[in-house]
Amino acid sequence: MTLEQLRIFLEVARLQHVTRASETLHLTQSAVSASLAALEAQHGVPFFDRVGRGIVLNEAGRMFMPLAAAVLRRASEAENWLAELRGGEVGTLRLQASQTVATYFLPSHLIRFQSLHPRVTLHFIQGNTATVAAAVRSGEADLGIVEGRVDGQGLRQTTVGGDRLVLLVGASHLWRQQPQLTATALAAADWVLREAGSGTRALFDEALQGHGINAVTQMLELPSNEACIAAVETGHGATVLSEHAAAPHCAAGRVFEVPFSFPERAFTALSHSERSLSRAAENFLASLRP
């Protein structure tokens, strides 16, 4: 049984006339007759009685009509759904992001995307750069957005934004009054740092190495930007965080930025190099590009 056979059957049943049905279907009369005969022979059920030179829908045909119509409706719904899927209007997008990106960069993009594509279901998980990259590689996430550099093996990478690191201390810290710090001062300080695996930590370590510093004294290693802020707010230790993460706390007078030049960093979208992106994922990625 094919959808075309059902379409022909319903039109003949509606008109109860092969010739008129063939005209509305834009088929030859012989093609319509052959399709009906094949459908009846395949299932061993006649749907029409041949009366004289015409046909009349019989009881089996009348019972079959709503079933055939329902199948065609579902097929049409399936075609429409696939068209919407192809256009990125339906589906599921599994997204993961590192903390700074998730908190300060993505929210406005997420709400705008959801308002434009309300039938796309977003599944969002926050992690750090290392866990997000691992999720993309394993297939747990369709897209990952991170602020740290990652090993490019197995990943496509697209720059979608960026920020810079800032050095922060509490109100009573000695550096509060320093017009400019030297790399030597950084090496001698006590630090409150994000956890290993975070993009912020990786860039800080890389920046120190650029100044010939291979290690610093770490008072605390903490898993969030807010925890680092709360720790150095006491006046003990210094930290480095994203300017986006620091801005509201600096404005509130909780912590203060100390001048020191750190390199800018990119926000990067990650996708698996050997997996195709859904149209929904492509649309979301396009919405992020600067």
Residue 121's identity, in one-letter code, is T
Q: Any idea what the CATH number is for the domain that residue 32 is in? A: 1.10.10.10
* pLDDT given for residue 290 in this prediction: 66
Do 182 and 258 lie in one domain? The reply is yes
User: What CATH number has the domain bearing residue 170?
Assistant: 3.40.190.10
249 and 199 inside one domain: yes
Q: Which residue, chain included where needed, has tokens 């509130």?
A: 252
Residue 28 has which token pair? Answer: 């030859």
| Separation CA 110–CA 200 (nearest Å) | 22
pTM of the model: 0.66
Domain containing 43: what range?
A: 3-87
Residue 52 has pLDDT above 80, yes or no: no
| pLDDT tens digits along 239-265 | 999 998 999 999 999 999 999 988 888
Same domain, 277 and 148: yes
pLDDT of residue 122: 92
Range 48-69 average pLDDT: 88
The stretch 182-202 carries a mean pLDDT of 90
Same domain, 15 and 73: yes
Q: Is the pLDDT of residue 6 over 80?
A: yes
pLDDT for residue 285: 92
Domain count, the chain: 3
- Same domain for 97 and 154: yes
Average pLDDT over all residues of the chain: 90
| pLDDT band of 147, cuts 50, 70, 90 | confident
Are both 277 and 154 inside the same structural domain?
yes
Is residue 167 located within the same domain as residue 233? yes
Last residue of a domain, one of 54, 87, 120: 87
Name the packing angle between helices 59-87 and 279-288 (round to 10°): 30
Same domain, 210 and 127: no
Amino acid 180: pLDDT: 81
Q: Do 182 and 251 sit in the same domain of this protein?
A: yes
One domain, residues 170 and 121: no
Q: Same domain, yes or no, for 128 and 152?
A: yes
Residue 90 CA to residue 121 CA, distance in Å, equals: 8
